[in-house]
Structure 1
Amino acid sequence: MKRDQDFIRQLLLKYEAEDDWVLMTVGDIFGSSEEERRENYHMHLMMDEGFLTPIGNGTFRITSYGHDYLEAIRDDTVWAKTKRGALSAGGASLRLMFEIASSIVKQKAAEALGLPL
């Protein structure tokens, strides 16, 4: 299964919108639907990167690092520029996507404030 950066973004936005900070994994890894397996796979990728952390049997939460990534990629314009940057580089890891998005946000903030950041 391929990693889908857009799907990871969608999942983080979905998880953040939940009423509770304790989130549950979806379905059984082996007996679940294709969409549930896809979500579980991407959840594990986000755990690998430190965006999510398990907190119990079948439960997890978004980490501070995950919230930072989400803040950097939340804006659709920033996300589009981030993807273009990754594409021009020939692809990117989640960490590089975060760095690209953070650089774009930092540049926007510097321009808006008139200060070098």
Structure 2
Amino acid sequence: MRRDLDLARKILLAIEASKDDEPASIRLPMREYDDLHLSHHVRLLMEAGLIHAIETHRIEPGLAWTPHMLTWQGHDFLDAIRDDAVWETIKSKFADHGGDLPSDIIYEIALDEARRKIGIA
């Protein structure tokens, strides 16, 4: 399964928008994506150190990984990619390289765009 940057960003935004650190309060984009894609991306974000997540051993269909909260690094990363114009620039550069850029490069692109936007680049 390929990494979907839009889904990853939506998950980060949903976690941040939750009122508390309870997984049940996080509103994931359930209508747009199936459980497998959501779980896979929650796990990827956890493995990248951007979020804390809980593995849920379910027999029934549902999320195998449930997001819990952003890490400090996750907050920093989300702050860097929050702006829609910055996000579109990142996606464009990501596509130019065949969708294969490491997350630290994505973060650097986001920081460069943020610096340019506020005039310190």
TM tier, smaller: 0.7 to 0.9
Residues 42, 67 of structure 2: 8 Å contact kept: no
Structure having the higher helix fraction is 1
TM-score (norm 2): 0.73
- Picking from 78, 91, 107, the partner of 1:70 is 78
Aligned-residue sequence identity (percent) comes to 32
CA-to-partner distance for each residue in 1:24-60, whole Å, 9 max, x for gaps?
5x9xxxxxxx712211110010011110124797662
Partner of 1:50: 49
CA distance in 2: counterparts of 1:59 and 1:83, whole angstroms: 24
TM-score (norm 1): 0.75
Higher alpha-carbon Rg: 1
Q: Specify every segment of 5 or more residues in structure 2 that has no aligned partner in the other structure, as ranges.
A: 27-32, 57-65
* 1:10 counterpart SS class: helix
CA-to-partner distance for each residue in 1:80-104, whole Å, 9 max, x for gaps?
0111122233431222211111111
Q: Specify every segment of 5 or more residues in structure 1 that has no aligned partner in the other structure, as ranges.
A: 27-33
* 2:2 counterpart SS class: coil
* 1:60 counterpart SS class: strand
